[in-house]
Structure 1
Amino acid sequence: MSAPLRVGNASGFYGDRFSAVREMLTGGPLDVLTGDYLAELTMLILGRDRMKDPARGYAKTFLRQMEENLGLAKDKGVRIVANAGGLNPAGLADALRELAAKLGVEVKIAHVEGDDLIARADEFGFEKPLTANAYLGAWGIAECLKAGADVVVTGRVTDASVIVGPAAAHFGWARDDYDALAGAVAAGHVIECGAQATGGNYAFFREQPIGVPGFPIAEIHADGSSVITKHPDTGGVVNTGTVTAQLLYEITGARYANPDVTARFDTLSLSDDGPDRVRISGVRGEAPPPTLKVCLNRLGGFRNETTFVLTGLDIEEKAALVREQLEGALAKRPPAEVRWTLARTDHADADTEERASALLHVAVKDNDPKIAGRAFSGAAIELALASYPGFHVTAPPSDASPFGVYSAAFVDAAAVPHVAVLPDGSKVDIAPASETLELSEVDEPALPEPLQADKVRRVPLGLVVGARSGDKGGNANLGVWVRSEEAWRWLVHRLTVGEFRRLLPETEGLPVTRHLLPNLWAMNFVVEGILGDGVASQARFDPQAKALGEWLRARELDVPEALL
């Protein structure tokens, strides 16, 4: 088959643009439309839904999108693959069948299951999780599509698998076609986060109009190479920068492991293929690791917060006073964890009250909802007439809310069932990979000759460096890249781990690893533990590290004038 498979994506997270499904179906030709609805936090949310009603646990938004668009997709011959099944893919498949019957649309619906390990938590040594889901691969999806499914819904598969599965089924790839599979993983990794590949959250957004970005498309070829693009006349932009940014998003090093293949991101190349078209080629693949990652979520207790507004003079002294008062009021039974943060957003001689004000944030956690609830927020508000001048807060007192704790585990892939439930209801067991390779880091590549610079200027790093950052549990990933060989020769010697720590003092004392990707003129930093127990625990300002890269770009250092 010489024609590429056109795979579009219409969701990067649970809560993404609702209209994207229709936009993608009406904007131009597609063969497959995918959606990624799951994240570590989403699994916790769905777990709480399942506690209230065992019949739920899937992304309800997807069902509403199908109510509007299932007939349209059928008419256009577009097959749909989404991981919206969450904790209950069988339940979502049944709901879709009921919906199709109500709409009078004849579609074949299949699902993939086996990832949910909650009933086997004791067997695997998991400590009382709310959710426990292994990341499955693409072959169950491929089996469903080969059986004629028009819609395939899954539970927890890797984000790229919803793209890899359709490509593997369409081109008839074998389990050991590692290079082709790795190419599809790269394409899937680029488009699975939706508009982030088409100009969303892009460091150099000022260089071209972004508007409301369209959603991305991967034109995947039989050898696994692809072209990343978007429908014509949609907002945003696709260029080597937007694709590089997404390739760096939430990875670690050069080896990007999936259940079916480990993709070598240090082998891929990007090239322009016309307006809003970027080709990904040369991706090499290796056998996958013998274990599967498991996403574990448990309820961690209850949390609450109050933000005091401090205005005008004596900001530090005002903060010290209210902190002393509140801690004194809570001394009889203090919350288990109390975290104070003073944000000096105030300006001297400010022309508005807001610009004259700083924010003192206090967050508490405890296993007792009463201690973290009104006992805390009530004590804070009781200080209103007895504390610093100008006392006020940003929100009224509130009850405590539950928070979650994320952790990852790894289990033998052979111990996890992977089942394709075909449109006729028959089940096909998907065997684990017969060939595996333990995951390891690549040797650091040889560094290029340093750039010789006679003149430098003190400027923000972001004038020459792009960045994209995000979370993996309690760790933050921060990828940076430049756009010329000269800039790479400077950056790779300048932005060492030590310099990274200096520029971002919050990383001091935490393990930081630098991974180099010379083909992309890029590097990725992994900061372990900076996000505590993950986004659901809300341990840090910017709990998903989405803006960590922009903070780095705002830091100033001496940059060769030749690069500016």
Structure 2
Amino acid sequence: MSTTEETPTDRRPLRVAGFSGYLGDRASALAEVLAGDPVDVLVGDYLAEVTLAALVGRTRASGGAGYVPGFLDQLRPHLGVLADRGTKVVVNAGGLDPAGMAAAVRELARAAGAELRVAHVEGDDLLARLPELHAQGHGMEHLDSGAPLKDWALTPVAANAYLGGFGIAAALTAGADVVICGRVTDASLVVGPAVWWHGWAPDDWDALAGAVVAGHLVECGPHSTGGNFSGFRAVPGMTAPGFPVAEVAADGTAVITKHARDGGTVTVDTVTAQLLYEIQGPRYLNPDVTTHLDDVTLTQVGPDRVAVGGVVGSPPSPTTKVAVFAPTGFVRATTVYLTGLDVPAKVELLRAQLTALLDPGVQVELTPLGRPVLDPATQDEATVAVRVVATGPDAEPLGEDFLAAVGSLFLGSVPGYYIDTVADRARRARVRVDYWPALLAGDVPRHEVVLADGRRLPVPPPPATRESRQPVHPEPVGPATTGSTTRAPLGVLVHARSGDKGGNSNIGLWVTDDRAWEWLRRTVTTARVRELFGEAAHLELVRHELPRLRAVHLVVRGLLGTGGSSNTRVDQVGKAVGELLRARWVDVPDELLATLPLITEVPR
């Protein structure tokens, strides 16, 4: 059934369905969504900073395609259905080579006899232009440090600007059925179709900001339907939560819902979780508009239906972000196991032994994951997994020499040391890719749409720009509570969602009831977070409050090094930091414990 028989002038809400949140999301998702409720546009988000880095590493190592070939496998069985229904498809699976992917999709459509017009968006790839940009005086300063790109000791092999949604809108207006993008912002995948559908002008700031929020809520696959949600135990159908649908109205307001046949749920809390995910703060910067998240309201308007309103927009920043990547050696990891007493001393001896056995240029890191149970009843309770990571400038010393070193310590190292001999181990070291988030004037990228017949449509920059800074919220003063309290995990009453922004980790914490808001905001101060989260003790913390969401938002600067693609943390991109904070024990008011629903029971 097609819903696209109406014209954009009918102004009914546009129905946009997501079917991918990252490279590696459920391969069956496109088939699931096509079997679900009727929609006008399907959008797939495949890129992240670590994904682009992986594409860089893959193409450098093997010369493979710079796009995401898995999208072609998803698309192939459904080309006829898409053509018959008139459903549009917009994806950023073009990665480093959107033209190559567009050509591959055209070939698939021809082979299937499906009449689909394919366009792609260009202008994000700035690698060849870097010498020209430097000569013109563009410093491409680091987003966090302000250092110019020319001071980076590494040689870039990819540089991709974040583009807005008006190129996608131009492609759809020109009749494209499938639009292949490279590094547009995640939200642009929805902004572009909304602009096309509703005919918005480039300065319809509030409407554009509403579409950015809708795009942000759809971009991460099942996140808005219960995936990666701290209240997962109450979500039905969590074996396979469905993908979200955004109904974007002519004024930019939206309703977030899901396909009725699929698992999961859409509630104010599941939507809040995604709204707070991987944001910079209350000002959410996009190339088309700056979105003011502190004005957003979320309202449950029906089963699995959450209305998003109150969104305010203003002109975008004069700069856009450019993701610059460069190889910085090689990395390899494996896991060993230690059992029983004296685990810290065992780890130190293993580190010294491996360092002595390996090439002098190899750096070795050992990370114990947990600690043995006191008085363990089983061997498993007495065991600690230890992650061993080796990095170096060359791949060869991280090959068989690395595995041989790890395997040579059974008889001459610590007691209780062993390896899982059944588990597969990485066959070779992989390229380690470093990340530089650069700032560049927004009118520098040559944003263009390339149609199937070769015509090029230039996309002008926004009609106005404005510097935007995050608001400053003073720290709460005074005690968090004056009544009786019980020691309990923060997460009995508080939800959390965390993610990455380059080398920084963001954390959103919120409560579901107004009665707990004042306690939350007074409990989650920067000083208290440093106490609860040891890795953040000496790092810069930025804290904001979003009262309409009953949320505190934190940015931990530098927690992820220079970015997820190069740091060696086990939780490489900070996805579990929020759950760590929820697990920490604090003083919880007895009145709240007695009167509010608990997310999880207080451990006894």
TM over 0.5: yes
Q: How much identity, in percent, do the aligned residues show?
A: 47
Distance 2:480 2:349 in 1: 52
Superposed displacement of residue 54, structure 1: 6.5
Tell me the secondary structure at the aligned position of residue 22 of structure 1.
helix
Quick one: distance in 2 between partners of 1:370 and 1:139? 46
Q: Deviations over 1:524-551 (max 9, x none)?
A: 1111111113222242120111111000
Tell me which residue corresponds to 1:87: 96
Cα distance in structure 2, aligned partners of 1:4 and 1:446: 41
Decide whether the 8 Å contact of 2:449 with 2:459 is kept in 1. Answer: yes
Contact 2:50 2:565 in 1 (8 A): yes
Q: How far is the alpha carbon of 1:344 from its aligned partner?
A: 3.6
Structure 1 residue 399 displacement after superposition:
4.0
The answer to whether the 8 A contact 1:79-1:151 is kept is: yes
After TM superposition, list the pairs within 5 Å mapping 1:502-521 onto structure 2: 502-521=531-550
> 2:496·2:509 contact (CA, 8 Å) conserved in 1?
yes
Unaligned runs of 5+ in 1: none
Residue 341 (structure 1) aligned to one of 348, 367, 379: 367
In structure 2, give the amino acid aligned to 1:243. V
2:226 to 199, 202, 205: 199
Q: 1:349-364 alignment to 2 at 5 Å? A: 349-364=375-390
The C-alpha deviation readout for 1:316-347, integer Å capped at 9, x for no partner, is: 333333333333434xx434533222234322
Match of 1:297 in 2: 325
Q: Is the 8 A contact 2:89 2:179 kept in 1?
A: yes
Aligned pair 1:152/2:161, yes or no?
Answer: no
Residue deviations 1:116-148, cap 9 Å, x none? 011122334555212110000000000011111
Q: 1:280 aligns to what?
A: 308
The partner residue of 2:260 within 232, 251, 260 is 232
Q: Which one of 411, 415, 421 corresponds to residue 440 of structure 2? A: 411
Matched with 2:246 is 218
Q: Which deviates more from structure 2 when the two are superposed, residues 356-365 or residues 104-113?
A: 356-365
Q: Deviations along 1:258-317, whole A, 9 cap, x unmatched? A: 000000001111101100000001100000011110011111101223433111233333
- The 5 A counterparts of 1:28-427 are 28-51=37-60, 56-125=65-134, 126=149, 127-209=154-236, 210-330=238-358, 333-394=359-420, 399-427=428-456
SS of 2:120's partner is strand
1:73 CA drift (Å):
1.5
1:447-486 matched pairs, under 5 angstroms: 452-486=481-515
Report the Cα distance in structure 2 between the residues aligned to 1:338 and 1:321, rounded to whole angstroms: 12
Map Cα deviations across residues 189-241 of structure 1 (whole Å, 9 max, x no partner).
01100100100010111123233111000000000000000011210010000
SS for the counterpart of 1:213 is coil
Contact between 2:121 and 2:447, CA under 8 Å: does it hold in 1?
A: yes
How many pairs does the alignment contain?
562
Q: Tell me how far 1:365 sits from its aligned partner.
A: 1.2
- 2:112 & 2:101 partners in 1: Cα distance? 16
Distance 1:428 1:251 in 2: 31
Distance 1:45-1:316 versus aligned 2 partners, 3 A rule: closer
Q: What one-letter code is carried by the residue in structure 2 that aligns with 1:308?
A: V
The equivalent residue for 2:602 is none
TM-score scaled by structure 2?
A: 0.89
Amino acid of the structure 2 residue aligned with 1:5: L
Verify the 8 A CA contact 2:226 2:235 in the aligned structure 1: no
Partners of 2:382 and 2:452 lie apart in 1 by 63
Distance 1:362 1:335 in 2: 16
Q: Please tell me whether the aligned partners of residues 52 and 95 of structure 2 are also in contact (alpha carbons under 8 angstroms).
A: yes
C-alpha distance after superposition, 1:406-439 (max 9, x if no partner): 1200111111100011243211111111210112
Q: Report what 1:437 is aligned to.
A: 466
Structure 1 contact 27–232 (Cα < 8 Å) conserved: yes
Taking a change above 3 Å as real, the CA distance of residues 246 and 122 of structure 1, as seen in their structure-2 partners, is same
Query: Which residue identity is paired with 2:218?
Result: I
Question: What is the alpha-carbon distance in structure 2 between the residues aligned to residue 513 and residue 224 of structure 1?
Answer: 30
Q: Does the 8 Å contact 1:11/1:36 carry over to 2? A: yes
- Give the distance between the partners of 1:52 and 1:441, measured in 2 at CA: 40
Contact map agreement 1:459 1:556 (CA 8 A) in 2: yes
1:551-562 superposed matches below 5 A: 551-562=580-591
Q: Distance in 1 between matches of 2:168 and 2:427?
A: 45
Q: Contact 1:121–1:128 at 8 Å: present in 2 too?
A: no
- Between the aligned partners of 2:559 and 2:473, the Cα distance in structure 1 is 25
Change (3 A) 1:132 1:72: same
Please give the root-mean-square deviation of Cα atoms over the aligned residues, in Å.
2.0
Query: TM-score, normalising length from structure 1?
Result: 0.95
